Protein backbone atom coordinates (compact mmCIF):
# COMPACT_ATOMS: atom_id res chain seq x y z
CA UNK A 1 0.00 0.00 0.00
CA UNK A 2 1.11 3.52 -0.73
CA UNK A 3 0.09 6.54 1.32
CA UNK A 4 -0.84 9.58 -0.68
CA UNK A 5 0.46 12.86 0.67
CA UNK A 6 -2.91 14.59 0.51
CA UNK A 7 -5.28 12.40 2.47
CA UNK A 8 -3.02 9.71 3.95
CA UNK A 9 -5.49 7.09 2.70
CA UNK A 10 -3.93 3.83 1.53
CA UNK A 11 -3.93 3.58 -2.27
CA UNK A 12 -3.86 0.22 -4.03
CA UNK A 13 -1.29 -0.14 -6.76
CA UNK A 14 -2.75 -0.63 -10.22
CA UNK A 15 -2.16 -0.16 -13.93
CA UNK A 16 -2.52 3.62 -13.51
CA UNK A 17 -0.61 3.69 -10.23
CA UNK A 18 2.08 1.02 -10.68
CA UNK A 19 4.31 -0.29 -7.91
CA UNK A 20 8.07 0.27 -8.26
CA UNK A 21 9.30 -3.30 -7.79
CA UNK A 22 12.97 -3.82 -6.97
CA UNK A 23 14.83 -6.30 -9.19
CA UNK A 24 16.43 -9.05 -7.11
CA UNK A 25 17.59 -11.23 -9.94
CA UNK A 26 17.90 -11.01 -13.71
CA UNK A 27 19.59 -13.95 -15.46
CA UNK A 28 19.65 -15.55 -18.89
CA UNK A 29 18.24 -19.07 -18.80
CA UNK A 30 19.71 -20.11 -22.17
CA UNK A 31 23.19 -21.52 -22.60
CA UNK A 32 25.99 -19.85 -24.58
CA UNK A 33 25.42 -20.43 -28.28
CA UNK A 34 21.62 -20.57 -28.08
CA UNK A 35 19.70 -18.54 -30.66
CA UNK A 36 17.34 -17.50 -27.86
CA UNK A 37 17.66 -15.29 -24.82
CA UNK A 38 15.11 -15.95 -22.08
CA UNK A 39 15.41 -13.86 -18.94
CA UNK A 40 14.37 -15.13 -15.53
CA UNK A 41 13.65 -12.11 -13.35
CA UNK A 42 12.73 -11.94 -9.70
CA UNK A 43 11.06 -8.81 -8.36
CA UNK A 44 10.28 -7.80 -4.81
CA UNK A 45 6.70 -6.95 -3.88
CA UNK A 46 7.82 -6.01 -0.39
CA UNK A 47 5.37 -3.58 1.30
CA UNK A 48 3.28 -3.24 -1.86
CA UNK A 49 0.24 -5.06 -0.51
CA UNK A 50 0.14 -6.80 -3.91
CA UNK A 51 -0.76 -10.45 -4.22
CA UNK A 52 -1.60 -12.88 -7.00
CA UNK A 53 -2.64 -16.43 -7.72
CA UNK A 54 -1.06 -18.89 -10.19
CA UNK A 55 -2.31 -18.02 -13.67
CA UNK A 56 -2.27 -14.25 -13.16
CA UNK A 57 -0.02 -11.97 -15.19
CA UNK A 58 2.21 -9.07 -14.26
CA UNK A 59 2.03 -5.83 -16.25
CA UNK A 60 5.25 -3.88 -16.82
CA UNK A 61 5.23 -0.21 -17.85
CA UNK A 62 8.17 -0.12 -20.27
CA UNK A 63 10.34 2.65 -21.68
CA UNK A 64 11.71 2.95 -25.19
CA UNK A 65 15.32 2.28 -26.13
CA UNK A 66 17.30 5.53 -25.50
CA UNK A 67 19.39 4.87 -28.63
CA UNK A 68 16.29 4.76 -30.81
CA UNK A 69 14.97 7.95 -29.20
CA UNK A 70 18.35 9.61 -29.86
CA UNK A 71 18.23 8.49 -33.52
CA UNK A 72 14.78 10.05 -33.92
CA UNK A 73 15.88 13.36 -32.40
CA UNK A 74 18.97 13.40 -34.62
CA UNK A 75 17.14 12.44 -37.81
CA UNK A 76 14.58 15.22 -37.36
CA UNK A 77 16.99 17.71 -35.75
CA UNK A 78 14.43 18.09 -33.00
CA UNK A 79 15.24 19.88 -29.76
CA UNK A 80 14.87 17.31 -26.99
CA UNK A 81 13.56 19.95 -24.58
CA UNK A 82 10.61 21.04 -26.75
CA UNK A 83 7.45 20.61 -24.68
CA UNK A 84 4.90 18.27 -26.30
CA UNK A 85 1.36 17.43 -25.26
CA UNK A 86 1.04 13.92 -23.90
CA UNK A 87 -2.68 13.53 -23.15
CA UNK A 88 -6.18 14.90 -23.65
CA UNK A 89 -5.85 16.98 -20.48
CA UNK A 90 -3.11 18.97 -22.22
CA UNK A 91 -0.23 17.96 -19.92
CA UNK A 92 3.18 18.38 -21.49
CA UNK A 93 6.61 16.76 -21.18
CA UNK A 94 9.95 17.56 -22.82
CA UNK A 95 10.10 15.78 -26.20
CA UNK A 96 12.87 13.32 -25.28
CA UNK A 97 11.06 12.20 -22.14
CA UNK A 98 7.74 11.93 -23.97
CA UNK A 99 9.30 9.76 -26.70
CA UNK A 100 10.98 7.60 -24.07
CA UNK A 101 8.08 7.05 -21.70
CA UNK A 102 4.75 7.85 -23.38
CA UNK A 103 4.54 6.81 -27.03
CA UNK A 104 4.99 3.69 -29.17
CA UNK A 105 7.86 4.51 -31.51
CA UNK A 106 8.54 0.98 -32.77
CA UNK A 107 5.08 0.46 -34.17
CA UNK A 108 3.91 1.79 -37.53
CA UNK A 109 0.25 1.59 -38.49
CA UNK A 110 -1.80 2.37 -41.59
CA UNK A 111 -3.54 5.11 -39.61
CA UNK A 112 -0.27 6.86 -38.79
CA UNK A 113 0.75 6.82 -42.46
CA UNK A 114 -2.67 8.11 -43.52
CA UNK A 115 -2.44 10.98 -41.08
CA UNK A 116 1.14 11.93 -41.89
CA UNK A 117 0.45 12.16 -45.62
CA UNK A 118 -0.82 15.68 -44.99
CA UNK A 119 2.51 16.66 -43.47
CA UNK A 120 4.76 16.02 -46.45
CA UNK A 121 4.91 16.67 -50.17
CA UNK A 122 6.40 13.22 -50.67
CA UNK A 123 4.69 11.55 -53.63
CA UNK A 124 5.91 8.06 -52.68
CA UNK A 125 3.82 8.11 -49.51
CA UNK A 126 0.77 9.33 -51.40
CA UNK A 127 1.20 6.47 -53.89
CA UNK A 128 1.62 3.89 -51.14
CA UNK A 129 -1.70 4.95 -49.64
CA UNK A 130 -3.72 4.45 -52.84
CA UNK A 131 -6.43 1.80 -52.43
CA UNK A 132 -4.86 -0.39 -55.13
CA UNK A 133 -1.59 -0.49 -53.18
CA UNK A 134 -3.08 -2.00 -50.00
CA UNK A 135 -0.73 -4.99 -50.11
CA UNK A 136 2.39 -2.84 -50.53
CA UNK A 137 1.20 -0.71 -47.62
CA UNK A 138 0.83 -3.76 -45.40
CA UNK A 139 4.27 -4.94 -46.47
CA UNK A 140 5.74 -1.51 -45.76
CA UNK A 141 4.42 -1.26 -42.21
CA UNK A 142 5.50 -4.83 -41.28
CA UNK A 143 8.82 -4.66 -39.46
CA UNK A 144 9.24 -0.90 -39.94
CA UNK A 145 8.96 1.84 -37.35
CA UNK A 146 8.57 5.60 -36.93
CA UNK A 147 12.23 6.26 -37.77
CA UNK A 148 11.89 4.42 -41.10
CA UNK A 149 8.81 6.44 -41.99
CA UNK A 150 10.45 9.75 -41.12
CA UNK A 151 13.54 8.83 -43.15
CA UNK A 152 11.62 7.49 -46.13
CA UNK A 153 8.96 10.13 -46.70
CA UNK A 154 10.42 13.53 -45.81
CA UNK A 155 10.98 16.42 -46.02
CA UNK A 156 8.39 17.10 -43.30
CA UNK A 157 6.37 20.27 -42.83
CA UNK A 158 5.39 19.44 -39.28
CA UNK A 159 6.47 20.16 -35.75
CA UNK A 160 7.57 17.45 -33.32
CA UNK A 161 4.37 18.18 -31.40
CA UNK A 162 2.24 17.40 -34.47
CA UNK A 163 4.04 14.15 -35.29
CA UNK A 164 4.00 12.97 -31.68
CA UNK A 165 0.25 13.63 -31.52
CA UNK A 166 -0.27 10.90 -34.14
CA UNK A 167 1.52 8.19 -32.17
CA UNK A 168 -0.16 5.51 -30.07
CA UNK A 169 0.28 5.58 -26.31
CA UNK A 170 2.97 3.23 -25.03
CA UNK A 171 1.06 0.30 -23.53
CA UNK A 172 2.08 -1.94 -20.64
CA UNK A 173 3.35 -5.43 -21.58
CA UNK A 174 1.89 -8.44 -19.79
CA UNK A 175 3.88 -11.46 -18.57
CA UNK A 176 2.51 -14.70 -17.12
CA UNK A 177 3.69 -14.94 -13.54
CA UNK A 178 6.23 -17.74 -13.12
CA UNK A 179 6.18 -18.07 -9.34
CA UNK A 180 3.84 -18.97 -6.52
CA UNK A 181 3.58 -16.35 -3.80
CA UNK A 182 3.03 -19.15 -1.28
CA UNK A 183 6.47 -20.51 -2.21
CA UNK A 184 8.11 -17.06 -2.56
CA UNK A 185 6.45 -14.61 -0.16
CA UNK A 186 6.53 -10.99 -1.37
CA UNK A 187 8.16 -11.97 -4.68
CA UNK A 188 7.09 -12.31 -8.27
CA UNK A 189 9.10 -14.11 -10.97
CA UNK A 190 8.83 -13.81 -14.76
CA UNK A 191 10.18 -15.66 -17.79
CA UNK A 192 10.74 -13.20 -20.62
CA UNK A 193 11.91 -14.02 -24.13
CA UNK A 194 13.95 -11.19 -25.71
CA UNK A 195 12.36 -10.16 -29.03
CA UNK A 196 15.11 -9.31 -31.53
CA UNK A 197 15.01 -9.44 -35.31
CA UNK A 198 16.56 -7.80 -38.33
CA UNK A 199 14.26 -6.15 -40.82
CA UNK A 200 14.91 -3.72 -43.67
CA UNK A 201 18.61 -3.49 -42.85
CA UNK A 202 18.24 -2.57 -39.19
CA UNK A 203 18.32 -4.56 -35.99
CA UNK A 204 14.98 -4.30 -34.19
CA UNK A 205 14.34 -4.78 -30.52
CA UNK A 206 11.13 -5.49 -28.61
CA UNK A 207 10.51 -2.54 -26.30
CA UNK A 208 9.95 -4.27 -22.98
CA UNK A 209 11.68 -7.62 -23.42
CA UNK A 210 14.93 -6.00 -24.55
CA UNK A 211 14.74 -3.36 -21.83
CA UNK A 212 14.72 -6.31 -19.41
CA UNK A 213 17.45 -8.17 -21.30
CA UNK A 214 19.85 -5.28 -21.88
CA UNK A 215 19.21 -2.41 -19.51
CA UNK A 216 17.60 -3.72 -16.33
CA UNK A 217 20.14 -4.33 -13.56
CA UNK A 218 19.70 -6.07 -10.25
CA UNK A 219 18.86 -3.34 -7.73
CA UNK A 220 16.92 -1.26 -10.29
CA UNK A 221 13.16 -0.83 -10.00
CA UNK A 222 10.45 -1.59 -12.53
CA UNK A 223 6.88 -0.15 -12.51
CA UNK A 224 4.48 -3.09 -12.34
CA UNK A 225 0.89 -4.08 -11.60
CA UNK A 226 -1.00 -7.36 -11.22
CA UNK A 227 -3.31 -8.38 -14.07
CA UNK A 228 -5.64 -11.08 -12.73
CA UNK A 229 -6.63 -13.83 -15.16
CA UNK A 230 -9.96 -15.41 -14.23
CA UNK A 231 -9.78 -17.79 -17.18
CA UNK A 232 -6.50 -19.49 -16.35
CA UNK A 233 -6.08 -21.01 -12.94
CA UNK A 234 -5.50 -24.25 -11.05
CA UNK A 235 -8.51 -26.47 -10.31
CA UNK A 236 -10.14 -25.48 -7.04
CA UNK A 237 -9.68 -28.96 -5.72
CA UNK A 238 -6.10 -30.17 -5.25
CA UNK A 239 -7.00 -33.78 -5.99
CA UNK A 240 -7.62 -33.06 -9.69
CA UNK A 241 -4.96 -34.06 -12.24
CA UNK A 242 -3.45 -31.36 -14.45
CA UNK A 243 -1.80 -31.59 -17.87
CA UNK A 244 0.29 -28.57 -18.83
CA UNK A 245 1.64 -27.81 -22.30
CA UNK A 246 4.10 -24.91 -22.18
CA UNK A 247 6.98 -24.76 -24.64
CA UNK A 248 9.43 -21.82 -24.54
CA UNK A 249 8.24 -18.97 -22.34
CA UNK A 250 4.94 -20.87 -22.11
CA UNK A 251 6.54 -22.66 -19.16
CA UNK A 252 6.06 -19.55 -16.99
CA UNK A 253 2.60 -20.12 -15.44
CA UNK A 254 3.32 -23.83 -15.04
CA UNK A 255 6.36 -23.09 -12.88
CA UNK A 256 3.88 -21.15 -10.76
CA UNK A 257 1.36 -24.04 -10.79
CA UNK A 258 4.02 -26.60 -9.80
CA UNK A 259 5.48 -24.42 -7.04
CA UNK A 260 1.98 -23.85 -5.65
CA UNK A 261 1.16 -27.55 -5.74
CA UNK A 262 4.46 -28.36 -4.00
CA UNK A 263 3.63 -25.97 -1.14
CA UNK A 264 -0.02 -26.96 -0.78
CA UNK A 265 0.84 -30.67 -0.97
CA UNK A 266 -1.99 -31.57 -3.30
CA UNK A 267 -2.72 -35.16 -4.25
CA UNK A 268 -3.64 -34.57 -7.91
CA UNK A 269 -1.11 -35.73 -10.51
CA UNK A 270 0.74 -33.24 -12.79
CA UNK A 271 2.05 -33.81 -16.29
CA UNK A 272 4.18 -31.23 -18.11
CA UNK A 273 5.03 -31.04 -21.81
CA UNK A 274 7.93 -28.68 -22.43
CA UNK A 275 9.73 -27.95 -25.67
CA UNK A 276 12.28 -25.63 -27.23
CA UNK A 277 15.13 -25.81 -29.76
CA UNK A 278 18.06 -27.63 -28.08
CA UNK A 279 18.08 -29.71 -24.87
CA UNK A 280 21.62 -28.61 -23.98
CA UNK A 281 20.94 -24.86 -24.39
CA UNK A 282 17.23 -24.18 -24.07
CA UNK A 283 15.83 -26.52 -21.40
CA UNK A 284 14.44 -23.72 -19.21
CA UNK A 285 14.34 -24.51 -15.48
CA UNK A 286 15.71 -28.02 -16.20
CA UNK A 287 17.21 -28.63 -12.73
CA UNK A 288 14.09 -27.46 -10.91
CA UNK A 289 11.77 -29.50 -13.10
CA UNK A 290 13.84 -32.66 -12.79
CA UNK A 291 13.96 -32.19 -9.02
CA UNK A 292 10.16 -31.79 -8.89
CA UNK A 293 9.89 -34.99 -10.89
CA UNK A 294 12.20 -36.85 -8.47
CA UNK A 295 10.18 -35.53 -5.55
CA UNK A 296 6.98 -36.80 -7.16
CA UNK A 297 5.43 -33.32 -7.39
CA UNK A 298 5.66 -33.49 -11.17
CA UNK A 299 4.31 -36.91 -12.07
CA UNK A 300 5.45 -36.85 -15.71
CA UNK A 301 7.70 -34.62 -17.77
CA UNK A 302 7.76 -34.91 -21.57
CA UNK A 303 10.19 -32.81 -23.59
CA UNK A 304 10.51 -32.04 -27.28
CA UNK A 305 13.65 -30.35 -28.63
CA UNK A 306 12.99 -29.45 -32.22
CA UNK A 307 16.55 -28.83 -33.43
CA UNK A 308 18.24 -31.86 -31.88
CA UNK A 309 16.98 -34.32 -34.45
CA UNK A 310 16.73 -34.27 -38.20
CA UNK A 311 12.95 -34.46 -38.04
CA UNK A 312 11.64 -31.59 -35.96
CA UNK A 313 9.80 -32.76 -32.86
CA UNK A 314 7.34 -30.49 -31.07
CA UNK A 315 5.16 -30.84 -27.97
CA UNK A 316 2.16 -31.92 -30.04
CA UNK A 317 4.16 -34.92 -31.30
CA UNK A 318 4.83 -35.96 -27.70
CA UNK A 319 1.10 -35.67 -26.99
CA UNK A 320 0.32 -37.97 -29.92
CA UNK A 321 3.01 -40.45 -28.85
CA UNK A 322 1.42 -40.61 -25.40
CA UNK A 323 -2.16 -40.51 -26.62
CA UNK A 324 -3.40 -43.53 -24.66
CA UNK A 325 -2.19 -42.23 -21.28
CA UNK A 326 -3.23 -38.69 -22.13
CA UNK A 327 -6.79 -39.73 -22.90
CA UNK A 328 -6.78 -41.85 -19.73
CA UNK A 329 -5.99 -38.74 -17.71
CA UNK A 330 -8.72 -36.75 -19.50
CA UNK A 331 -11.30 -39.48 -18.88
CA UNK A 332 -10.28 -39.34 -15.26
CA UNK A 333 -11.22 -35.63 -15.14
CA UNK A 334 -7.81 -34.01 -15.74
CA UNK A 335 -7.59 -30.29 -16.52
CA UNK A 336 -5.69 -29.43 -19.72
CA UNK A 337 -3.69 -26.18 -19.94
CA UNK A 338 -1.80 -24.56 -22.83
CA UNK A 339 0.47 -21.52 -22.63
CA UNK A 340 2.76 -19.78 -25.12
CA UNK A 341 2.75 -19.10 -28.85
CA UNK A 342 -0.71 -18.35 -30.21
CA UNK A 343 0.09 -18.29 -33.92
CA UNK A 344 1.33 -21.87 -34.41
CA UNK A 345 1.82 -23.85 -31.20
CA UNK A 346 -1.62 -23.37 -29.66
CA UNK A 347 -3.31 -24.42 -32.93
CA UNK A 348 -1.11 -27.49 -33.33
CA UNK A 349 -1.72 -28.51 -29.72
CA UNK A 350 -5.47 -27.98 -30.14
CA UNK A 351 -5.51 -30.22 -33.22
CA UNK A 352 -3.34 -32.84 -31.53
CA UNK A 353 -5.70 -32.89 -28.58
CA UNK A 354 -8.67 -33.51 -30.86
CA UNK A 355 -6.73 -36.31 -32.58
CA UNK A 356 -5.93 -37.91 -29.23
CA UNK A 357 -9.59 -37.84 -28.18
CA UNK A 358 -10.73 -39.08 -31.61
CA UNK A 359 -8.30 -42.01 -31.65
CA UNK A 360 -8.39 -43.16 -28.05
CA UNK A 361 -12.07 -42.42 -27.49
CA UNK A 362 -12.98 -44.08 -30.84
CA UNK A 363 -14.97 -41.01 -31.81
CA UNK A 364 -15.52 -39.14 -35.05
CA UNK A 365 -13.72 -35.80 -35.47
CA UNK A 366 -16.99 -34.00 -34.68
CA UNK A 367 -17.55 -36.05 -31.54
CA UNK A 368 -13.98 -35.36 -30.40
CA UNK A 369 -14.50 -31.62 -30.95
CA UNK A 370 -17.74 -31.78 -28.94
CA UNK A 371 -15.87 -33.62 -26.16
CA UNK A 372 -13.25 -30.86 -26.09
CA UNK A 373 -15.96 -28.17 -26.10
CA UNK A 374 -17.53 -29.82 -23.12
CA UNK A 375 -14.17 -29.83 -21.35
CA UNK A 376 -13.89 -26.12 -22.12
CA UNK A 377 -17.35 -25.44 -20.69
CA UNK A 378 -16.37 -27.32 -17.54
CA UNK A 379 -13.26 -25.11 -17.28
CA UNK A 380 -11.06 -28.14 -17.99
CA UNK A 381 -9.47 -26.75 -21.18
CA UNK A 382 -7.78 -23.42 -20.48
CA UNK A 383 -5.40 -21.40 -22.62
CA UNK A 384 -3.07 -18.48 -21.96
CA UNK A 385 -1.69 -17.78 -25.41
CA UNK A 386 -0.09 -14.70 -26.96
Q: Which residues contact ligand FAD by CB under 6 A?
A: 57, 62, 106, 142-143, 173-176, 191-193, 195, 197, 199, 206-210, 249, 252, 384, 386
Instruction: Tell me whether residue 113 or residue 330 sits nearer to ligand FAD (CB atom).
Output: 113
| Minimum distance, C-beta of residue 140 to ligand FAD, in the bound complex (Å) | 12
Query: Residue 239: which of 275, 210, 268, 207 has the closest Cα?
Result: 268
Of 168 and 365, which has the nearer Cβ to ligand FAD?
168
- CB proximity list for 2: less than 8 A, separation 6 or greater: 10, 11, 13, 17, 19
Q: How far apart are CA 248 and CA 277, in angstroms?
A: 9
Please, what is the minimum distance in Å from the beta carbon of residue 199 to ligand FAD? 5
Shortest separation between residue 70's beta carbon and ligand FAD, angstroms = 17
**Helix/strand/coil for 58:** strand
Question: What is the nearest approach in angstroms of ligand FAD to the Cβ of residue 355?
Answer: 27
Q: How far is CA 77 from CA 85, 103, 142, 146, in A?
A: 19, 19, 26, 15
What angle do the packed helices 286-294 and 252-264 form, to 10 degrees? 30
Q: Quick one: 120 or 180, whose CB is closer to ligand FAD?
A: 180
Rounded least distance, CB 161 to ligand FAD, Å: 24
| In the complex, least distance from residue 247 CB atom to ligand FAD, rounded to whole angstroms | 12
Q: Residue 310 burial by CB count (10 A; 0-12/13-18/19+): exposed, middle or buried?
A: exposed
Q: Which is nearer to ligand FAD, 67 or 81 (CB)?
A: 67
The residue (of 29 and 326) whose beta carbon lies closer to ligand FAD is 29
Pseudo-torsion of CA 194, 195, 198, 200, nearest 10°? -150
In the bound state with ligand FAD, the residue whose beta carbon lies nearer, of 275 and 358, is 275
Complex with ligand FAD: residue 193 or 247, whichever CB lies closer: 193
Q: Nearest 5 degrees, angle CA 141-CA 143-CA 147?
A: 75
Contact 23, 221 (CB under 8 A): yes
DSSP 210: H
Shortest spacing between CB 55 and ligand FAD, in angstroms: 10
User: Inter-axis angle of helices 365-377 and 345-360, to 10 degrees?
Assistant: 110
Exposure string over 172-198, b if 16+ CB within 10 A, otherwise e = bbbbbbbbbbebeeebbbbbbbbebee
Angle at 178 between CA 174 and CA 182, to 5 degrees: 120
Residue 155: is the preceding peptide bond cis (ω within 30°)? yes
Q: How far is the CB of 176 from ligand FAD (least distance, A)?
A: 4
> Which one, 302 or 384, has the nearer CB to ligand FAD?
384
Amino acid sequence: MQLTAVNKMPTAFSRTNPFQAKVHKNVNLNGTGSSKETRHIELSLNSSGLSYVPGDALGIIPQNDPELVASLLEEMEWDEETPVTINKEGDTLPLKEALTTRFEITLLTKKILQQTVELTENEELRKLLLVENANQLKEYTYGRDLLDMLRDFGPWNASAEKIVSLLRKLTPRLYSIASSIAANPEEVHLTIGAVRYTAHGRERKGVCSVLVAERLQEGDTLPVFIQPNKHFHLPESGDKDIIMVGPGTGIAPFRSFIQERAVTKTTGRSWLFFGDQHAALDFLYQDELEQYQKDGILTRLETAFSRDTEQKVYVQHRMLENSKELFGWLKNGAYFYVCGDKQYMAKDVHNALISVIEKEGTMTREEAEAYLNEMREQGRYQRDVY
